[in-house]
């Protein structure tokens, strides 16, 4: 919530990278994180530049967090508490919330009330410390670049019937990959060559092979 306005102001208003710019909080099987998404035009900006600007935003946001006044922090906390205190507009919202507790086998049906109590005890120092910790050397980041391909992106025309093992050309172009299925033709991912601007990054060229090398993180439940 605190990141939404600065994110839009930096990446959309000032950098004009695209209309769809937003941060998102994530809870993946009890593992918490956040993401920043930018949808830009391939004819205006490349994804490497967009990632660089996202990193610049996160640095500037960290500075804003450090300089945040106690009054501004309390205003943000109060607004978030009021948002969580809003009554459900229809029965489906309550059903979805409670059913999610059953599906994940956590059964914390008063989670909203507990979150409100935790927010009332939270301090600005804790918030700043959490953000800086998750931006430090020990933090992990996954950067996903989805690049458009076609006439509008000024790409050369692809082959009419490409092979299933399609690959990038010498000029970094993309050959569309497809395979037959009961659903018809299904497109596959084509991995682009790494940009020199991201030379320090670990490149994933085979998702299945990469995930097979990772340790299985134990399922985590947030019960307190």
Q: Does 188 map to a domain? A: no
Entry pTM: 0.77
Residue-wise pLDDT for 36-60, tens only, equals: 999 998 888 888 899 999 999 999 9
Residue 113 — pLDDT band, cuts 50, 70, 90?
very high
Domain enclosing residue 44, as ranges: 4-140
Query: Please, is 17 exposed, middle or buried when counting C-beta atoms within 10 Å of its C-beta (0-12, 13-18, 19+)?
Result: buried
Q: Does 205 map to a domain? A: no
Cα 51 vs. chain centroid, distance in angstroms?
12
Residue 204 — pLDDT band, cuts 50, 70, 90?
confident
Q: Does 176 map to a domain? A: no
Residue 184 — pLDDT band, cuts 50, 70, 90?
low
Q: Does 191 map to a domain? A: no
**CATH number of the domain that residue 98 is part of:** 3.30.830.10
Lowest mean pLDDT segment, chosen from 2-11, 40-49, 133-142, 147-156: 147-156
Report the number of distinct structural domains present in the chain: 1
Q: Does 68 map to a domain? A: yes
CA distance 142 to 137: 14
């Amino acid at each position: 919530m605190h990141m939404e306005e600065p994110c839009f102001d930096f990446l959309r208003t000032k950098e004009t990278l695209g209309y769809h710019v937003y941060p998102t909080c994530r809870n993946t099987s009890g593992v918490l994180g956040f993401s920043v998404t930018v949808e830009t035009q391939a004819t205006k900006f490349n994804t490497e530049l967009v990632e660089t600007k996202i990193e610049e935003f996160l640095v500037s946001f960290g500075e804003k967090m450090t300089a945040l006044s106690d009054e501004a922090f309390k205003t943000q906390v109060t607004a978030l508490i009021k948002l969580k205190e809003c009554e459900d507009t229809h029965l489906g919202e309550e059903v979805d919330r409670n059913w999610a507790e059953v599906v994940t086998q956590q059964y914390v049906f008063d989670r909203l009330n507990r979150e409100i109590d935790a927010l009332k005890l939270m301090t600005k120092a804790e918030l700043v410390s959490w953000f800086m910790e998750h931006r430090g050397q020990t933090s992990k980041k996954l950067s996903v670049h989805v690049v458009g391909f076609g006439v509008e992106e000024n790409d050369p025309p692809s082959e009419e019937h490409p092979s299933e093992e399609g690959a990038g050309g010498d000029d970094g172009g993309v050959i569309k990959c497809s395979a037959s299925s009961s659903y018809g033709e299904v497109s596959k991912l084509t991995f682009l060559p790494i940009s020199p601007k991201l030379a320090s990054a670990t490149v994933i060229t085979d998702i299945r092979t990469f995930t097979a090398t990772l340790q299985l993180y134990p399922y985590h439940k947030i019960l307190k």
